[in-house]
DNA sequence: ACTTGACCTTGACCCTGCGTCAGGGTTTCA
DNA sequence: TGAAACCCTGACGCAGGGTCAAGGTCAAGT
C-alpha cells in the first residue's frame, strides 16, 4: 500500500495536486490507515496517470472528471477533439513565433524609412507641426499592423504631393481642420474633393482591379475604421464633411468608396 | 482620440483587459475627458499591440512589464528566450498528442492479452487469489507505463513457470508471504533465492548485454521502486529478505542487481 | 525513552489573467 | 424624451494548484 507521496512521485505530481483531485472528486478517496493516513493501491496509480495524461494535454479538470466516467465512444470522440485542439495550439505557437520575431526586428515599432521621408517632406512643405504629428500617429498605427504595405502607401502619398492641385487641396484641408464644426465653407471643400475624386476615379479603379488577388492598396476595415475615428475626433468639420461627401456619392475617408456612379 | 472600446477592439482585446493592463501598470493611464472617460492616442494602440503580441506568446504580464522598459539587447535576448519556450511547447504538445492517442487506443488501461494469459496460468497452477491479485495490480502499473515492453516481460515470466525448480521456489515464496516479519525461516529462503540467481546469472548477464542500446529487459528506476514498495508493504518478511539478499551480494527485487561478484 | 527529521492531516489564504456582476453616470440616436 | 449603448469604480469568481500554519505520526539513531 502506497502513501500519498509515493503515489504522487510515481505519477510525477505534487502531494497537493493529488489532494486537489480528491477534493474535486476526480480521484476517489482511498481508505485510511489507523492514523488517518491515506493508503493507495495500484489502481489509484493508474487512475492518477490517466488524469495527468488528460490534464497535461490541456483538458480542464472538470472535463477530465466527465471523461473518466464516459463511455468508449464518448471517450474516443473527446480524444479526437483534444487532438484537434493540440494541433490548433501548435499552429498558434508557430504563428506567435513569427509575430514576436517581427517584434524583435523592431521594424514595426518605429516608422520605416519611407514614412520618415514622407513626414520630412511634409515638414519641408511647411505643414503645421500639429498636422505632421497627426499623420505620424496615423502611420505608426498602419506600420504596426501592415508593415509590408508601407512602401506602397508611402509611394501613393508621395505621388499626391507631386501633383500641385492635390497639394493645394491638402493645404486647404489642413486649414479647414481648424474651422468650427458648423463652418459654412465646408460644402465648397466637399465639392472640390469630389471633383478631385472623379478625376482620379478611372486610374484608381484600374488600380483596384489590378490588386485583386491580394488587397494591394486597400486597407482592412478595422484599421480604416480606426483611422477614420481619429480623423473624426481631431477635426471638427470631419463629421459634416463625410456627410456631404456621402450626399455626393462617396463614402468613407481612409477607404474611400463610390456608392453612386455619377 | 479613441475611447477605451475603440482602442480595445482595434487590438482585438476586451475593454476589461485594457483596464487590467492599466491596473498592472503595463499601459499608462491616458488623460480623461471632462466626463472622466479615458481618451487614447495612437501610441496607446501601438503599445497595446506590443503587450498583446508578447502576452499571446505566453509571456506573463509581469514579464511584459519589464520587457517594455528593457534595453534593445535585453529585449532581443528575451525574445530569443520566448522563442525557445515556444518551440519547447510545440514539442510538448506533439508528445501529448502521442500520449492521448495511446490512451484512446485503450491498451494501456486494461491488461494486454499476454498478461491475461499469464494471470490465468497462475490461477490454473492454484496460486492464491490474493497472490494473483497482487500480481495483477503490479502488472497493471507496468502496462500503464511501458505497454510496449509487456510481451517481453510476460515471456520472461512464462519461462519462470516452465522451470520446475523456479516454480517450486515461487510457491514457497507465496507461502512465505504470510509469515511474520521475524520468522526464522527467512534466511533459508534467501539462500535458495541466491542459489537460483547464481545459476541464472550467466544467461541473465548475456541478456543484459544484448539489450544495450535500449533498456530491453530492465525497468526504469521509478517504476521498479514503486513495485518494490508494494512488495515491501504487502509482504511482512520482505524487508528482512531484501536485507539478507544484500548480505549475500544481491540488491533490489524488481530490478535485481549483483553488488558483489562471488 | 527521547529526539530529530521526514511524513501525514485539514484549513486557509495567495497567484494570474482576466470575466462578470453591481450600481452608478454619460452620450447618442431616433 | 427615452432607450440603447457607452463609460466609471469596486468587488467577487474561476482554474489549478503553491504555500504557509498548526498540528499528529513514524522510523532512525542515541
Residues in B touching A76 (Cβ below 8 Å): 104
Q: Please answer yes or no on whether B75 and A104 come within 8 Å at the CB atom.
A: yes
How many residues does the structure list for chain A? 262
What pLDDT does A110 receive?
A: 67
pLDDT digits (tens, 9 = 90+) for B163-192: 998 999 999 999 988 888 778 888 899 999
pLDDT digits (tens, 9 = 90+) for B74-121: 999 999 999 999 999 999 999 999 888 888 776 555 688 899 899 999
pLDDT digits (tens, 9 = 90+) for B211-222: 333 445 577 777
Mean pLDDT of chain B: 85
Instruction: Determine which of A68-72, A81-85, B9-13, B252-256 has the lowest per-residue pLDDT on average.
Output: B252-256
pLDDT digits (tens, 9 = 90+) for A133-192: 788 878 887 887 787 888 999 999 999 999 998 999 999 999 988 888 778 898 999 999
Pairing of strands A257-258, B250-251: unpaired
Residue with grid cell 478631385, as numbered in its chain: A196
Residue ranges of chain A whose pLDDT lies below 50:
206-215
Q: Please answer yes or no on whether B83 and A101 come within 8 Å at the CB atom.
A: yes
Give percent of chain B above pLDDT 70: 89
Q: Testing the interface with A: which of B59, B97, B219 to mutate, by most A Cβ within 10 A?
A: B97
Chain A: closest CA distance from residue B261 (Å): 32
What pLDDT does A27 receive?
A: 96
Nearest by Cα to B141 from B129, B153, B124, B157 = B153
Per-residue flag: A4 CB under 7 A of strand C: yes
What are the helix (H) ranges across A106-220?
113-124, 129-145, 150-162, 164-176, 186-210
What pLDDT does B202 receive?
A: 61
Selecting from B57, B97, B230 the residue whose C-beta is nearest the C-beta of A96 gives: B57
Question: What domains are there in chain B, each with its CATH number?
Answer: 4-105 (1.10.1660.10), 113-258 (no CATH)
What are the Cα distances from residue B165, in Å, to B23, B126, B245? 76, 17, 19
What pLDDT does A251 receive?
A: 83
Per-residue flag: A35 CB under 7 A of strand D: yes
CA A143 to chain centre: 13
| Chain B contacts in chain A segment 196-225 (CB below 8 A) | 222-223
Per-residue flag: B50 CB under 7 A of strand D: no
Amino acid at each position: 500500500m502506497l502513501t500519498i507521496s509515493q503515489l504522487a512521485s510515481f505519477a510525477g505530481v505534487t502531494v497537493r495536486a493529488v489532494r486537489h483531485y480528491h477534493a474535486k472528486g476526480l480521484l476517489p478517496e482511498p481508505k485510511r490507515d489507523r492514523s488517518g493516513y491515506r493508503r493507495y493501491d495500484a489502481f489509484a496509480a493508474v487512475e492518477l496517470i490517466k488524469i495527468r495524461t488528460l490534464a497535461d494535454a490541456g483538458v480542464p479538470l472538470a472535463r477530465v472528471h466527465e471523461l473518466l466516467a464516459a463511455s468508449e465512444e464518448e471517450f474516443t470522440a473527446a480524444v479526437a477533439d483534444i487532438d484537434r485542439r493540440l494541433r490548433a495550439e501548435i499552429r498558434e505557437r508557430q504563428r506567435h513565433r513569427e509575430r514576436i520575431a517581427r517584434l524583435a526586428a523592431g521594424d514595426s515599432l518605429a516608422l520605416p524609412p519611407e514614412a520618415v521621408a514622407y513626414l520630412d517632406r511634409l515638414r519641408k512643405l511647411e505643414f503645421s507641426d500639429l498636422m505632421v504629428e497627426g499623420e505620424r500617429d496615423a502611420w505608426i498605427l498602419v506600420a504596426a499592423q501592415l508593415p509590408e504595405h508601407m512602401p506602397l502607401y508611402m509611394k501613393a502619398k508621395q505621388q499626391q504631393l507631386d501633383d500641385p492641385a492635390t497639394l493645394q487641396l491638402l493645404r486647404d484641408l489642413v486649414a479647414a481642420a481648424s474651422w468650427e464644426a458648423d463652418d459654412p465653407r465646408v460644402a465648397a471643400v466637399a465639392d472640390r474633393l469630389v471633383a478631385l475624386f472623379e478625376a482620379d476615379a478611372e486610374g484608381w479603379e484600374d488600380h483596384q482591379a489590378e490588386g485583386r488577388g491580394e488587397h494591394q492598396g486597400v486597407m482592412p476595415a478595422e484599421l480604416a475604421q480606426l483611422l477614420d475615428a481619429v480623423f473624426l475626433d481631431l477635426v471638427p468639420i470631419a463629421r459634416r464633411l463625410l456627410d456631404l461627401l456621402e450626399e455626393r456619392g462617396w463614402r468613407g475617408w481612409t477607404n474611400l468608396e463610390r456608392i453612386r456612379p455619377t
